[in-house]
Amino acid sequence: MTQESVLSVQNLSVVFHTPDGDVAAVSNVSFELRSGETLGIVGESGSGKSVTAASLMRLNNSSTATTSGSILISGVDVLTAEESDVRRIRGSEIAMIFQDPLSALNPYYTVGKQIAEAYLVHHPNASKSDARGVTLEMLKKVGIPNPEKRIDEYPHQFSGGMRQRIVIAIALINNPKVLIADEPTTALDVTVQAQILDLMKELQKEFNMAIILITHDLGVIAEAAQEVLVMYGGRIVEQSTVEALFSEPTHPYAWGLLGAVNSLELSGRGALATIPGSPPSLISLPAGCSFNPRCAHSSEICMTDVPALRVVGSQGSVTACHLPNDEIISLGRKAAAR
Amino acid sequence: MSSDIALQAIDLIKYFPTGSSGILGRPTDLVQAVDGVSFTLPAGKTLGIVGESGCGKSTLARLVTRLIDPSSGSVVLDGVDITTLSGKALREMRRKLQMIFQDPYSSLNPRHSIGQIIGDPMRIQGIVTKGNEKAEVQELMQRVGLNPEHYNRYPHEFSGGQRQRIGIARALSLHPSVIVADEPVSALDVSIQAQILNLLENLQKDLGLSFVFIAHDLSVVRHIADQVAVMYLGKIVEIGDSATVYSNPSHPYTKALLSAVPVANPAMRHSDKRIRLVGDVPSPIDPPSGCRFRTRCWLATDLCAAQEPPLALDESGRAVACHFPLTTAVTIGNGAV
């Protein structure tokens, strides 16, 4: 691999202080991201995936949240850097797109103005007409038909899919090295979702950027990611290549997720495989492995010790589970085949 | 009327007036939300209705439950046209036809206890005596997988999946024969979705319920539905047995919709069989002439613009509204498509 590392996260933890107690939203998350690569993060509501993403741009409110660990982008630690440095990095080195494109856009400004604004912030010496030219170019790249006319229209004049293209245009106008996409297609219809995923792939090639794709949809992960983090209760429980996740998943939670999805896709009319119970509350995470109350394979040690991440199997997957290696591999293959 | 038909919709039309002009503010446009939809739901079966946002599936749900009145057409439940009922007869009808909603947060009154929420319909309809109510409610709670001891708790004390179970118990409280479920699992996490779908299937088996199941998620509908109707811009474009429609779609839109669903298998990623629709769904205020799908269809010809294709049965017993259905080739036997 000759791709350079563009983002390195070490031991990231985020604790929110709430009236009901401290919420450990993210615990000890570490990963590397290389240019041109797509890292998928999957998990259910409350698994910590969106908080992880927000931390990468230092968007967590420092008065209510304590963030520790390190996040290195181009040699700068986002968590300890001066506010002015972080502001320089936001948008130019790392950019973000969100689930709901309508609330990500300002209804009072034309889309052209909003895209140009993002450009002018990082190019203070550029003229307005330069910015307009760059904006037009970008609108063409994200596939807005008739950009010369539509550049002066307002967000409400665009459909959901077109709005998401505008948001992507804003994110990419400064050619960032990392794009964080937090559920970018969840609010869209399937046919439009397919268009947006294709567009992201195309632009990734063109800009050679890394993408962090956050989603709850394993189908989207299979479609677009190369590496995958599976998160549960604020922790990474499995880290693997997308091929390994779907052929030899190594964590009981991943087995459950795959089982629920696979049985839907294949549609026998039998009962669906389910994971019993519901995701844990982050205020009172179960002791030990936080998946233990829902796990069919848990034993005593799971109730007391948090399992450390370790390499399991031939495909280099990393997993946090107390089960012995050979058992994990045989159960994992069974889960994938189901 | 034959008793094996649970529910029938006949040529349902709903136009919503919109826009205004001049000082009187008379509506100037009509949103053609549902435009001539018919279907038959056999007793004990599930009809899935799929389509993208704006295709009219939720309006259809509100029409068949008579939460709104149709512009024209009728809904027949147990041999009775319910679109003309009022007063006592309407109340009687509501007992037989219940609904489950998408959002388990906004569909439960936060100030009512679970016991009240589930018990209210029985009390209002007068089908339970005061002394029996609690026992009945607790039996329902047990049936949908809730702990009966939580009778006095409030909605905020429950998770999303549990709230959806409360909504299901409420729908069951009047012993309905038909349940209309509008996106009942789309607000839930995948692992919880599977639990709720299993619950609905078990209830159907035990109680002989008939479901109209509306969803945008094709794999969910594939799992639960016996028959599936695909809607586009207010019309059914294809309707038939789930297995037939999914394995061998006939309408180009059905095919495109199915091929757009991301497959949870990375090996399929580079498959070239994908059909990518361009553009967006046109406005239902001013739908395209002829076939409404023609503006996004790769098979469209002048005929499609001039003439609206009728919903016609093919040999496999499914109905398709297309001038160039993808499966004629198969029935003729030259193996194309």
**How do residues A279-300 score in pLDDT, each as one tens digit?**
888 888 899 999 999 999 999 9
Instruction: Please list the helix, strand and coil fractions of chain B in percent, rounded to the nearest 5, in that order.
Output: 35, 20, 40
Q: Do A263 and B162 touch (CB under 8 A)?
A: no
Give me the pLDDT at residue B330, please: 41
Contact A178, A6 (CB under 8 A): yes
| pLDDT, mean over chain B | 89
Q: Do B266 and A243 touch (CB under 8 A)?
A: yes
Give me the pLDDT at residue A267, please: 56
The more confidently predicted of residues B42 and A100 is B42
**Residue in A closest to B282 by C-alpha:** A159
Give me the pLDDT at residue A1, please: 45
Q: Is any Cβ of chain B less than 8 angstroms from the Cβ of A197? A: yes
Give me the pLDDT at residue B335, please: 36
Q: B-side interface with A, Cβ within 8 Å?
A: 52-53, 159-162, 189-195, 197-198, 201, 216, 218-220, 222-223, 246, 256-257, 260-269, 274, 276-278, 280-281
CA A289 – CA A279 distance, rounded (Å): 13
Give me the pLDDT at residue B329, please: 42
Sheet holding A21-34, edge to edge: A21-34, A5-18, A65-73, A76-77
CA B171 – CA A296 distance, rounded (Å): 32
Using a CB-CB cut-off of 8 Å, the residues of chain B touching A218 are: 190, 264
Q: What confidence category does residue B189 fall into, taking pLDDT thresholds of 50, 70 and 90?
A: confident
CA A209 – CA A203 distance, rounded (Å): 8
Q: What confidence category does residue B266 fall into, taking pLDDT thresholds of 50, 70 and 90?
A: confident
Give me the pLDDT at residue B203, please: 95
Contact A168, A115 (CB under 8 A): no
The Cα of A321 is separated from the nearest Cα of chain B by a number of Å equal to 19
Give me the pLDDT at residue A237, please: 96
> Closest partner residue to A271 among B52, B198, B268, by Cβ?
B198
For B117-159, the pLDDT digits (tens) are 999 999 999 888 888 999 999 999 999 999 999 999 999 999 8
Q: Is any Cβ of chain B less than 8 angstroms from the Cβ of A246? A: yes
Give me the pLDDT at residue A269, please: 60
Using a CB-CB cut-off of 8 Å, the residues of chain B touching A159 are: 280
Give me the pLDDT at residue A101, please: 87
pLDDT at B49 over 60: yes
Which helix (H) or strand (E) is B88 found in, with range?
A: helix B87-96
pLDDT at B336 over 70: no
Give me the pLDDT at residue B118, please: 95
Contact A23, A43 (CB under 8 A): no
Q: Name the residue among A171, A182, A168 with its Cα closest to residue A53.
A: A182
Give me the pLDDT at residue A259, please: 83
Q: Work out the average pLDDT over B190-194.
A: 86
Q: Do A218 and B264 touch (CB under 8 A)?
A: yes
Q: Do B52 and A191 touch (CB under 8 A)?
A: yes
Which pair of tokens denotes residue A150?
């539509």
Give me the pLDDT at residue B171, please: 95
Q: What confidence category does residue A99 fall into, taking pLDDT thresholds of 50, 70 and 90?
A: confident
Strands (E), chain B: 5-18, 29-42, 46-50, 72-77, 80-81, 97-100, 178-182, 210-215, 227-232, 235-241, 312-313, 319-320
Contact A242, A213 (CB under 8 A): no
Output DSSP code: residue A271.
P
Q: Name the residue among B235, B255, B226, B242 with its Cα closest to residue B316.
A: B242
Q: Do A190 and B216 touch (CB under 8 A)?
A: yes
* pTM more than 0.95: no
Give the residue carrying structure tokens 């960032």. Answer: A176
Give the residue carrying structure tokens 């299993």. Answer: B198
pLDDT at B2 over 80: no
> Closest partner residue to B219 among A197, A264, A274, by Cβ?
A264
Q: Is any Cβ of chain B less than 8 angstroms from the Cβ of A287? A: no
Percent of chain A with pLDDT over 90: 72
- The CA-based diameter of chain A, rounded to the nearest angstrom, is 67
Q: Do A260 and B162 touch (CB under 8 A)?
A: no
Q: Do B194 and A278 touch (CB under 8 A)?
A: no
pLDDT at B204 over 90: yes
Q: What confidence category does residue A169 fall into, taking pLDDT thresholds of 50, 70 and 90?
A: very high
pLDDT at B23 over 80: no
> Closest partner residue to A192 among B159, B160, B280, by Cβ?
B280
**Residue in B closest to A254 by C-alpha:** B191
**Residue in A closest to B51 by C-alpha:** A189
Give me the pLDDT at residue A187, please: 83
